[in-house]
Structure 1
Amino acid sequence: MSDRVRDYDIVVYGASGFVGILTARYLAEHAPAGTRVALAGRSEPRLAAVRDKLGVDWPVVVADAADTDALARLAASTRVVISTVGPYLKYGTPLTSACAEAGTDYVDLTGEVVFARQSIDANHERARATGARIVHSCGFDSIPSDIGVHVLARQVAADGAGELTDTTMVVTSMRGGVSGGTIDTLRHQMDVMKGDRRLRRVAASPYSLSPDRDAEPALGRQSDTATVSGAEVHPSLRGTLAPFFMASYNTRVVRRSNALRAHQYGRKFRYRETMSVGTSPLSPVIANGVKLGFGALVAGLMLPPTRFVLDRVLPKPGTGPSEKAQREGHFTVDFFTTTTTGARYTARFRAQGDPGYAATAVMLGESALTLVHNREALPPSEGGVLTPATALGDALVDRLRAAGMEITARRL
C-alpha cells in the first residue's frame, strides 16, 4: 500500500446493500478504537440511513460503479476498500483497477472465475508496482477453503512430515440460506459465457487462476464435480460424498495459492471439495442427485423457457435471510490429506452464523482489519492480485480465532 496519508483506514463500498450493511455493522461493533471507516455507494440518502441505523458518525462517500473518476478518488482516499457490489464481472472491474493504480488494498466476496481471471490479467503487475494487495474472495468463498489448506500445510511443514498430496475438503455440516446476490451472480456469468467459447474454457480449467498454467505439475485430470466414496478420503468416513457447489471456484483459489508460493504445498498436491449427504445406504443416490440438481440449475439459467420460470421463484438480488436465521446458521468443513511421507493429517474450520451472511461479514471485516492493523504480521509480498492465504496468512487466522472461529490442524 502507498505510504501517502489517507483520509480513511477502511471504506465499505456497497454499504447500503444486504451484505454491505452486515459488514458495516460488524466493523461498528468490532473494529479497534480509532479505526477510520467510511461508507460508500451510489446513493447518499441510503448511505446516511445506514449510518444512522448503526449509530456511528462515519463519513459517506458517493461513487457510482461506472464513474471511474469518483472511484479513483475513493481509492486514493483510503488504505483499504471493502467491496460488496456484485456481480463483480458486471460492476467490479473499474474499482479493482482504481485500487491497483492507487496502491490501495482491496478485499471482496467474488466467487466468479472469469472476473478473478480478468482482474489478475489487468491488475496483478500494476498492483505489484504500487504495493496494493488485491484480495478477492474473502467470504465463505473462499476463506474456509484457502485458509483451511494453509493451516493444514503449515502444520505438516512444522512437523517435518513432507508435502501435501491428495487433499479433500468435506463440508461436514452447514446451515444457511442462498442469497439473491449469489443467484444473480450465477445468472450473469451464464449470460456472459453463453456466447464466448474462450470464457467457457477459462471457467472450465482447473488452473484458470494460476499465474502460469504451463508451470503447473502434470497431475492428470482433476474433476471438481465428482461424487466420492467417503472411505476413499479417509477410512473413518462413511457413505458417498457429493460435489460441493462452490468447488469449481474454491479449488482454483487454493491452486493459485500453491502456485504463488512456488508450490510449497507440494508438487503432487491435488485438491477437491465435497459435502456430506449422510451415511445411509441411499447416500450414493443423494450425492448423485445433488450433482445432477446443480447441473440442472445451471442449464435452466441458460435456457430461455426455464430461465423465465426460475427468475420468478429464485431469491431476488438484495434479499437475504432473517436475523434469526443468520444467527442460527453455521458451517463445519474438514480437510483430509496424506503427505509424501505417508502421514495422515486433518484440519477443521468451523464457525457460527449463516455462512453467506453473518459468518461472511466476520471474515470480510476481519480481512480488512488485518490489512489495517496487522501489516507487520502479513506474509511477505510485493503486492499483486493475491489470495486470502498468500495476502493475509497467519495474521488473518489469529484474528478469526479471536473472533470465535475454530481453525485447527493435527496429525491423525
Structure 2
Amino acid sequence: MVLSASAKTTSTSLGSTEANIHASVERDGNSLAPVSTAQFAFMALIGVPVWLTVLVPLTLIYQVGNGIKNAISGPKTADASSAFVLDSGYQVDAKDIIPQKDRKYDVVMLGATGFTGQLSVRHLAKTYGCSGEKGVNWAVAGRSKDKLNKVLQSLADELKMPKLMDTPIIVVDTAVASTLPNLVRDTKAVVTTVGPFRKYGSGVVEFCAKFGTHYADITGEEDWSQVMMQQWQSTAQATGAKILHFCGCDSVPWDLTVFQMAQFLKTEKGEDLASVQCFDEIKTNPSGGTLETMKLALGTSELPSLKEGAPEPFRCSPQGKEHTSPVTANLPSWISKVDLPWSSQPAYGSFFVMSVVNSKVVAWSQALRQGAPLTYSECAANPDWKTAFTNFFGTIAFFTAILNPITGGLLYKYVLPAPGQGPSMKTMTQDSFASIYAQGTGTKQSKVEALMYFTGCVGYLETARMLVESGLALALSPRDQLPSTDNGGFFSPSYGVGTALLERLMQTGTQFTVRSLKEEERTGLNKIE
C-alpha cells in the first residue's frame, strides 16, 4: 500500500527508511528549547507559592460556594437564547434529500470568518484553487455575507487569486433552524470550526444527520460529542450521513498513528497491538476560540445527561454492541525520566493537556472496531527536568486560575487572546511544529515504531488542513477506500476515513512513517506514572 508518491513501502516499513525515524525533525532544527534558569526559578519560587496560597484557595472557595448555592436554589435557569436545544423538531421530507452524487458542492466550510476557519479557506484555495477549478467544488458559510466577502477579498489579495471573490457564499445562523437546510442540503460534506460546539454545533449535526450530509468538526468536547451521538446515531445511519468529530489537533495525529500501527502489525506480523507509548513534542500557541471553548466547558454545563441504562456511546460498535476490551489509559500524574529513541540525552515526560481527549478517541476507535485490549500511554517530552517542572505547574496554575471568575476574568480580559485572534502566520509557519513519536508492542511481542510530523502550527494551521482533508476524504473517497463500510453514523477519524485521510495529509505536507523495530533497537522506556 502506497500512501503518497513520495512514500516508500517495504515489507517492514511505510514511509522513511532512514535509520533514525526522527531525522527529518532534527534536520529542520525543530526541538523544544529548555526553559532558562530564571524561568524555572520564577515558577519554583513565585509561581508555585502563588498557586498554593492564592489560586487554589480562591478557586476552592468559589467552586464550593457555587455548589452550595446550586444545592439550595437549584441550578441557574438558562434563558431562551442560551438554552441547549437537542432537537429543533424540523421534519425533513424524503423528496427534499438530494442524492450525494447529485449535490452541487463537495464541501462547505462553515465558520470561514473565524481564526481557524480563515486558515481552512486558505488551505482550500491554495491547494485546490477556486471552487470547481481543480475538481473540488466548495463554498463558504457564515452569519455575515459582508464578513465572508472580506475574508475572500483578503485571501484573494494575499494569494493573488482574484477569482476567489466568485466563491459561493451561504448565509446561515446556526442558532436559527430555518437557515440550516440551505447549509446542508446541496453539499456532500460540511466542515465546521464554529465552536464552542456545545453552543453552536448541535443544530449543524442535527441537520447533517437528517439530510444525509457528511460532517467533520474540530471539537475536543467529548461529552457533547457523546450526547450528539446518542441523539442522532440512528438518524445518521438511516440517511447515510457520516458524522466525524475530533478532526483537528484533537485528535487526528494520535488516532491515525495508533490505527496505522495496529494495521501494520496485523498485516506484517499477524498480531494485535497490545500497548503503545506516544511522546509528544509540540510547539504552538493558543487562539481565542480555543480558550473560549475551554471557558465554557469548565463552567456550568448546559448539556443534557446521557440516557440512563444505555451503554456509553464511545464504548459501542456502530451496531450498538458494547466493547468488552476497553482501552486502558496510562497518563502521567508527575514527571518521569524517559529515554527517547532518537537522542542520547535524557528527557523527562510529563502530562500533556490533550492526552485525556486523545486517549478517549483512541478508545472509541477500538470500540468501533471491537479491537483487542490496548494500553495507551502518552506524555509530553521535555528536554530537561526544569522544563518539565515549569510546564507542569504552568498548566496546573493556568487551569486553576480560570476556574474562578476573579483571576479567570482578569486573564480573559487583559492577557489571553479574544475569539477570532491567534498566532501570526509567521509564528505558525516558522516557529511551530509537532512531532508525535510512538512505540508499540504486539500481542506476540513484536515491536513497531511510528512518527507523524507537522512542520507548522498543529493547533491551527495544520488543524485547518486536517479538517478540510477530512471533509474531502468523506466527500470524494470511493466507499471501498474507507476503513468503515457502514452506511452512516458517528465515527472517529481513523474509523471513518482512516488511510484515505492519511494519504491526503501526506500529499499536502504531513510526514508519516511506521515500521518494525528490532528488540535491540528498542530504547528502554521507563514507565510513565
TM-score using structure 2 length:
0.70
1:311 pairs, out of 379, 404, 412, with: 412
Change (3 A) 1:261 1:335: same
Q: Secondary structure at the match of 2:376?
A: strand
Name the count of aligned residue pairs: 395
Contact 2:251 2:361 survives alignment (8 Å): yes
Give the corresponding residue for 1:378. Answer: 482
Give the corresponding residue for 2:436. Answer: 333
Contact 1:11 1:80 survives alignment (8 Å): yes
CA distance in 1, matches of 2:419, 2:150: 20
Change (3 A) 1:197 1:132: closer
Contact 1:155 1:410 survives alignment (8 Å): yes
Give the corresponding residue for 1:15. Answer: 112
Q: Secondary structure at the match of 1:215?
A: coil
CA distance in 2, matches of 1:100, 1:233: 44
CA distance in 2, matches of 1:20, 1:66: 18
CA distance in 2, matches of 1:216, 1:298: 34
Is 2:256 the counterpart of 1:151?
A: no
Give the corresponding residue for 2:525. Answer: none
1:49 pairs, out of 141, 150, 153, with: 150
Change (3 A) 1:226 1:58: same
Q: Secondary structure at the match of 1:209?
A: helix
Is 2:502 the counterpart of 1:405?
A: no
Q: Secondary structure at the match of 1:192?
A: coil
Query: What residue identity is the alignment partner of 1:392?
Result: V
CA apart distance, 1:161: 4.7
CA apart distance, 1:159: 1.2
Is 2:396 the counterpart of 1:275?
A: no
Give the corresponding residue for 1:170. Answer: 279
Change (3 A) 1:208 1:169: farther
CA distance in 1, matches of 2:478, 2:173: 30
Give the corresponding residue for 1:226. Answer: 333
Cα deviations across residues 138-191 of structure 1 (Å, max 9, x unaligned)? 1111110111111111111111252112212111x3222111111111100011
CA distance in 2, matches of 1:20, 1:196: 25
Matches of residues 11-410 of structure 1 in structure 2 within 5 Å?
11-31=108-128, 33-53=134-154, 54=156, 55=162, 56=164, 57-171=166-280, 173-193=281-301, 209-211=314-316, 215-217=323-325, 222-227=329-334, 229=336, 231=338, 238-263=346-371, 266-267=372-373, 269-278=374-383, 280=384, 283=385, 286-312=387-413, 313-328=415-430, 329-376=432-479, 377-379=481-483, 380-410=485-515
TM-score using structure 1 length:
0.89
CA apart distance, 1:224: 3.5
Change (3 A) 1:320 1:293: same
Question: Structure 2: which 5+ residue stretches go unaligned?
Answer: 1-96, 157-161, 307-311, 518-529
88-97 or 152-161: bigger deviation: 152-161
Contact 2:116 2:464 survives alignment (8 Å): yes
CA distance in 1, matches of 2:275, 2:335: 13
Change (3 A) 1:218 1:127: closer
CA distance in 2, matches of 1:244, 1:216: 27
CA distance in 1, matches of 2:323, 2:282: 36
Cα deviations across residues 212-242 of structure 1 (Å, max 9, x unaligned)? 796343677x454534645489797843301
CA distance in 2, matches of 1:245, 1:10: 31
Cα deviations across residues 92-140 of structure 1 (Å, max 9, x unaligned)? 0000111011100011110111221112112222111111111111111
Q: CA RMSD in A?
A: 2.5
Give the corresponding residue for 1:203. Answer: none
346-355 or 356-365: bigger deviation: 356-365
CA apart distance, 1:295: 2.9
Cα deviations across residues 55-113 of structure 1 (Å, max 9, x unaligned)? 31111111011011211221112111010100111110000111011100011110111
Change (3 A) 1:275 1:213: farther
CA apart distance, 1:260: 0.1
Query: What residue identity is the alignment partner of 1:28?
Result: A
Change (3 A) 1:214 1:292: farther
Q: Secondary structure at the match of 1:129?
A: helix
Q: Secondary structure at the match of 2:300?
A: helix
CA distance in 2, matches of 1:216, 1:291: 34
Q: Percent identity?
A: 31
Query: What residue identity is the alignment partner of 1:378?
Result: L
Give the corresponding residue for 1:204. Answer: none
CA distance in 2, matches of 1:378, 1:170: 28
Q: Secondary structure at the match of 1:151?
A: helix
Give the corresponding residue for 2:520. Answer: none
CA distance in 1, matches of 2:497, 2:174: 26
Query: What residue identity is the alignment partner of 2:434?
Result: F
Cα deviations across residues 233-255 of structure 1 (Å, max 9, x unaligned)? 97978433011111111111111
Change (3 A) 1:11 1:85: same
CA distance in 2, matches of 1:209, 1:240: 32
CA distance in 2, matches of 1:214, 1:87: 29
Change (3 A) 1:233 1:332: closer
Change (3 A) 1:215 1:262: closer
Contact 2:453 2:512 survives alignment (8 Å): yes
